[in-house]
Amino acid sequence: MKDIKRATVAEIMRDPAKYTGSEVDVKGWVRTRRGNKNVQFVALNDGSTIKNLQIVFDLSKFSDEDLKRVTTGSSIHVQGELVASQGKGQSVEVQAGELEIYGTANPDEYPLQKKGHTMEFLREKAHLRPRTNTFGAVLRIRHAMAYAIHKFFNDKGFFYFHTPLITASDCEGAGAQFVATTLDIENPPRTEDGKVDYSKDFFGKQACLTVSGQLEGELGATALGCIYTFGPTFRAENSNTPRHLSEFWMIEPEMAFYEIADNMDLAEEFIKYCIQYALDNCMDDIEFLSEHFDKELVERLRFVVDNDFVRLPYTEGIRILEEAVKSGRKFEFPVYWGVDLASEHERYLVEEHFHKPVILTDYPKEIKAFYMKLNDDGKTVRAMDVLFPKIGEIIGGSQREENYDKLKARIDEQGLTGMDWYLDTRRFGTVPHSGFGLGFERLLLFVTGMQNIRDVIPFPRYPGNCEF
């Protein structure tokens, strides 16, 4: 092999003219090989782009023996001249001069032979599925979205604030937490009344994996002004739906001096920014996914960017749903004031009634978390959920209760303990403040058009599954 600097397929495809006529050095995995006795064509992919680079092997230069081992899934290193392609489907190709085979992939054993595997099959082969076109596209978009999120907040002067993954508090108060313990679970120490004695545990108290970084995020916001978190969260709910994971990533901005309307403006601007970023930077991958899974994908993305979100109080939303029921629309779950909306209700409002994303506000306090600011009616709280087509709830947030006495009362009502540190933000220099949480994988569901949340994260965790 000659001493030539390696180029990725993405680099070559971005500026083919720069490389045409000169020798290139490329490395990657073989997607397919086809041809005849005289010439063989290899589609090479190195993960840098959805696009394959065509490598042409002239069989007067390469032996059958060599090429026999160049099968789907094998990894190779090629040097040769980049030339304008004669054939259809690609603008340039490499005329192979040198070939090195790094690793073969026995065709009788390598599972990703043919195209068009089902998502279910690929989920069973989750350790190899990043090598498929579909997952390559999804994972590149996932990266781009993470970058866009950091860029959005950084450019706005928000600070990335790291909240703990192991915590002693339960933010959402739903009790759906995984316990983090080093106690001998076969034979744990017990208190006199027979309960597990967590004072003997690793941290000297019961600790769990976090369901949200919000409460700690509020400590950051009431010092730094505007912060955001971006990290994994864990929920031990037994939800086997295409929209729930047991481990998912969440982005939680928290802003001092923001009221609910400011919070809604930010949420709308933020999500539109992310989607516009995908349209501007991920079109190759989006077009691939659109072509294979969801013909309306691009249109749907543009639609969200181009339209104002509807802002609607919960009570109005219920009225619209009740009207729909009266005129014969059937729902699986009942509709009445006070009910926690199901995804079918959310999607009705978005997809059938308004045909636009909806920000639903002012929910009954009983169905929302303790930290939300109570409205003057004493019945509803300043919550806001952003509802999206195909997804339902994509963002959940609220203005926070900044009044010490009201917050203390809600904490006591719910029997929460150990919250003095949180209450201190309201005891010392309390300010109106707001925030929200965007489910990263729900955003990715929307942007990629994938149907199941298990297919937009490399290693999904859900009830009954913890592979790798």
Judged by CB under 6 A, the residue of 212, 222, 375, 448 near ligand 4AD is: 212
Provide, rounded to whole angstroms, the least separation between the CB of residue 435 and Mg ion. 13
- Please work out, in degrees rounded to the nearest 5, the angle formed at the alpha carbon of residue 101 by the alpha carbons of 96 and 102: 135
Of residues 72, 61, 62, the one with CA closest to residue 34? 72
> Given the rule CB under 6 A, which of 120-128, 295-303, 344-352, 438-446 is the region that contacts ligand 4AD?
438-446
Nearest-angstrom CA–CA distance, 287 and 279: 10
Range 152-211, binding ligand 4AD (CB under 6 A): 171-172
Q: Which is nearer to ligand 4AD, 315 or 343 (CB)?
A: 343
Among 28, 80, 213, 396, binds Mg ion (CB under 5 A): 396
CA-to-CA separations, 221 to 208, 218, 255, 319, 352, in angstroms, rounded = 23, 5, 6, 36, 38
The answer for residues whose C-beta is within 8 angstroms of residue 463's C-beta and 6 or more apart is: 238, 239, 240, 246
Separation between Cα atoms, residue 233 and residue 196, nearest integer Å: 25
**By CB under 5 A, is residue 437 in contact with Mg ion?**
no
395 in contact with ligand 4AD (CB under 6 A) = yes
Q: Which of 28, 357, 389, 397 binds ligand 4AD (CB under 6 A)?
A: 397
Q: Which long-range CB contacts under 8 A does 402-408 form with residues at least 24 apart?
A: 402/373, 402/426, 402/430, 402/431, 402/432, 402/433, 403/430, 404/430, 406/374, 407/370, 407/371
C-alpha 255/C-alpha 132 separation (Å) is 40
Nearest distance, CB of residue 394 and ligand 4AD, angstroms: 5
> Per DSSP, what are the bridge partners of residue 57?
40
Structure tokens at 296: 């309306």
Residue pair 71/83 in contact by the 8 Å Cβ criterion: no
Residue number, 42 or 171, with CB nearest to ligand 4AD:
171
For the bound state, the minimum distance from the C-beta of residue 330 to ligand 4AD, rounded and expressed in Å, comes to: 26
Cβ distance to ligand 4AD smaller for residue 96 or 171: 171
Q: Which is nearer to ligand 4AD, 161 or 198 (CB)?
A: 161
Contacts of 353 (CB under 8 A, 6+ apart): 320, 324
Q: Residue 349's closest CA among 372, 315, 379, 399?
A: 315
The yes or no reply on residue 437 touching ligand 4AD (CB under 6 A) is: yes
- In the shown chain, the binding pattern of residues 352 to 381 toward Mg ion, with x for contact by CB under 5 A and - for none, equals ------------------------------
Which one of 276-284, 297-305, 327-335, 394-402 is the stretch in contact with ligand 4AD (CB under 6 A)? 394-402
- The answer to the question of residue 245 lying near ligand 4AD (CB under 6 A) is yes
Across the strands, what pairs with 308? none
* Cβ distance to ligand 4AD smaller for residue 29 or 270: 270
Of 235, 426, 454, 461, which lies in the binding site for ligand 4AD, with binding defined by CB under 6 A?
A: 235
With H, G, I as helix, E, B as strand and everything else as coil, classify residue 210.
Answer: coil
Q: Please identify, using beta-carbon distances, which residue of 24 and 267 lies nearer to ligand 4AD.
A: 267
Within 10 Å of residue 385's Cβ, how many Cβ atoms? 23
The listed partner (Mg ion, ligand 4AD, none) that binds 248, CB under 5 to 8 Å by sort, is ligand 4AD
| Minimum CB distance to ligand 4AD, residue 397 (Å) | 4
How near is the Cβ of 97 to Mg ion at its closest, in Å?
A: 58
Residue 319 contacts by C-beta under 8 Å, 6 or more apart in sequence? none
Is residue 397 involved in binding Mg ion (CB under 5 A)?
no
Q: How far is the CB of 353 from ligand 4AD (least distance, A)?
A: 20
252 binds ligand 4AD (CB under 6 A): yes
Nearest distance in Å: CB 212, ligand 4AD: 4
Q: Provide the 3-class DSSP secondary structure of residue 270.
A: helix
Residue 372 backbone phi and psi in degrees, to 5: -80, 145
- Among the listed ranges 75-83, 143-151, 348-356, 394-402, the one in contact with Mg ion (CB under 5 A) is 394-402
Structure tokens at 4: 């030539």
Q: How far is CA 113 from each of CA 34, 57, 109, rounded to the nearest angstrom?
A: 13, 21, 9
The distance of closest approach from Cβ of residue 315 to ligand 4AD in the complex, given in angstroms and rounded to an integer, is 20
244 touching ligand 4AD, by CB under 6 A: yes
For position 262 contacting ligand 4AD by CB under 6 A, the verdict is no
Angle (nearest 5°) at CA 81 between 76 and 85: 95
Cα–Cα distance measured from residue 298 to residue 279, given in angstroms and rounded to the nearest whole number: 8
Note the residues at the interface with Mg ion (CB under 5 A).
396
